[in-house]
């Protein structure tokens, strides 16, 4: 882990410190883990609204003639389905079907796209894309110039409407709009990583503190709270969204991670890794990512704890926590697919003690607004 001295800070770092945030290292960045308490911030997002600094995330722009076909060989989903102003969740794979990154791609213009990538993956993604590109493709990593905010929760739309001067036409899930704020452009998208309705906003570092202050001020009367990475993690885990480095990595395929619906096998272009995934599909998976719920009042599971069936190790926890909504331990675990059926009783080893868990259907939590 890098020294604190080497960590990157977002333009909002002074605001976080002024709000009394506890800071932690994440993907090379010094980020707020919580301001008040993780439980309180989690509840704010489920019931009202929360505002997150997501400036650590990466923005890579792709343009040029042939961008559509090239992206379709590079990413698993089908970008041909995107009209301008729309986005989709997709994955970038290596030749052995393992995951380079998971990301959201937006079509900004006919031949210009935005990739929103994980903070810890920006450099590797950019290197990977550059290695694969041809002369017709232009790649720009503008991550250092952009900051980002996630406004999440049932009150998000109201907070947004009150924060911008002009009336917004309603955005649907995964849609994008470029809109002015104090004379500068903001990329506004209706998406998120919490399992609630919400928006992500990307703007120049210069504009970001003003945007943060405005959203906080307009949101406060509606119950909005600033939220850290702690709540972001419990929220995404309840919604069963994968976290790169946990549910996905260079050796885990999207089929194993349960993300098959984001793989487009029948588009005209073959995406990198498709042969391995076709084979996995035909032959069946040997391991699978499942949702586990602790039975009764057991200790919360944590990443890397062993998962057992009849005393035999069958896999391990990839992410685990106490679920503030269910008020019990929950986990995602990569296990032998013979035991992946919902209802199966398993055990997780916590400090040498077995804790009883059950395989349950994903997700743990589904919002009525999504």
Partner 1 sequence: MNHPDTLLYSDTHEWLSVHDGIGTVGITDHAQNALSDVVFVELPKPGKVVKRKDPTAAVESVKAASDIYAPVSGEIIEVNSGLSQNPEWVNGSPYEQGWIFKIKLSQPEETSTLKKASDYVAGLGH
The overall longest dimension of the chain from CA atoms, in Å, is 63
CA atoms of 151 and 163, how far apart (whole Å): 12
Stretch that binds partner 1, among 8-16, 86-94, 228-236, 241-249 (CB under 8 A): 228-236
Does residue 349 interact with partner 1 by CB under 8 A?
no
Stretch that binds partner 1, among 51-59, 167-175, 208-216, 346-354 (CB under 8 A): 346-354
- A 10 A CB-CB count for 306 gives 16
Does residue 194 interact with partner 1 by CB under 8 A?
no
Residues pairing with 61 in the sheet: 114, 140
What does DSSP say about strands 328-336 and 312-323: parallel, antiparallel, or unpaired?
antiparallel
> What is the closest distance, in whole angstroms, from the C-beta atom of residue 148 to partner 1 in the complex?
23
Question: What are the DSSP calls for 166-235, one per residue?
Answer: SPPPPPPTTBEEEEEETTEEEEEE---SSSSSEEEEEEETTTHHHHHHHHHHHHGGGTEEEE-HHHHHHH
Does residue 230 interact with partner 1 by CB under 8 A?
yes
Q: Which of 41, 37, 18, 31 is nearest to 219 (CA)?
A: 41
Q: Which of 8, 25, 28, 37 binds partner 1 (CB under 8 A)?
A: 37
Does residue 225 interact with partner 1 by CB under 8 A?
no
Does residue 351 interact with partner 1 by CB under 8 A?
yes
Q: Which of 263, 241, 255 is nearest to 318 (CA)?
A: 241
Stretch that binds partner 1, among 5-13, 51-59, 248-256, 297-305 (CB under 8 A): 297-305
**Total residues at interface with partner 1 (CB under 8 A):** 20
Q: Which of 38, 51, 62, 208 binds partner 1 (CB under 8 A)?
A: 38
Q: How many residues does the chain have?
A: 370
* Environment class of 79 (CB within 10 Å of its CB; exposed 0-12, middle 13-18, buried 19+): buried
> What is the closest distance, in whole angstroms, from the C-beta atom of residue 145 to partner 1 in the complex?
31
Does residue 322 interact with partner 1 by CB under 8 A?
yes
> What is the closest distance, in whole angstroms, from the C-beta atom of residue 22 to partner 1 in the complex?
8
Residue number with CB closer to partner 1 (87 or 301): 301
Q: Which residues bind partner 1 (CB under 8 A)?
A: 22, 33-34, 37-39, 230, 233-234, 297, 299-300, 302, 321-322, 324, 329, 350-351, 353
């Amino acid at each position: 882990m890098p020294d604190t001295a080497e960590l990157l800070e977002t333009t909002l770092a002074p605001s976080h410190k002024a709000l009394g945030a506890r800071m932690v290292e994440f993907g090379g960045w010094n980020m707020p883990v919580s301001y008040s308490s993780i439980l309180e911030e989690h509840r704010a997002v489920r019931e009202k609204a929360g505002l997150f600094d997501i400036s650590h995330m990466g923005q890579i722009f792709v343009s040029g003639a042939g961008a559509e076909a090239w992206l379709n060989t590079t990413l698993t989903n089908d970008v041909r389905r995107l009209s301008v102003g729309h986005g989709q969740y997709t994955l970038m794979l290596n030749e052995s079907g393992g995951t380079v990154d998971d990301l959201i791609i937006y079509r900004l213009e006919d031949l210009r796209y935005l990739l929103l990538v994980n903070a810890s993956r920006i450099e590797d993604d950019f290197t990977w894309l550059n290695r694969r590109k041809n002369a017709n493709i232009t790649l720009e990593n503008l991550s250092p110039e952009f900051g980002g905010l996630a406004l999440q929760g049932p009150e998000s739309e109201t907070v947004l409407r009150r924060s911008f001067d002009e009336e917004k036409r309603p955005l649907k899930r995964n849609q994008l709009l470029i809109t002015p704020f104090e004379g500068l452009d903001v990329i506004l998208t209706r998406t998120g990583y919490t399992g609630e309705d919400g928006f992500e906003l990307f703007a120049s570092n210069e504009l970001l503190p003003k945007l943060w202050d405005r959203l906080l001020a307009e949101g406060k009367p509606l119950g909005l709270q600033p939220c850290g990475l702690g709540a972001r993690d419990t929220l995404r885990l309840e919604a069963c969204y994968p976290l790169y480095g946990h549910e996905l990595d260079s050796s885990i395929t999207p089929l194993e991670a349960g993300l098959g619906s984001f793989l487009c096998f029948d588009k005209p272009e073959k995406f990198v890794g498709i042969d391995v995934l076709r084979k996995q599909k035909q032959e069946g998976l040997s391991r699978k990512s499942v949702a586990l719920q602790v039975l009764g009042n057991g200790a919360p599971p944590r990443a890397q704890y062993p998962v057992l069936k009849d005393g035999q190790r069958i896999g391990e926890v990839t992410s685990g926590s106490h679920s503030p909504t269910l008020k019990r331990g929950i986990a995602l675990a990569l296990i032998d697919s013979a035991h992946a059926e919902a209802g199966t009783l398993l055990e997780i080893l916590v400090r040498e003690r077995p804790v009883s868990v059950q395989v349950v259907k994903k997700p743990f939590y589904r919002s009525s607004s999504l």
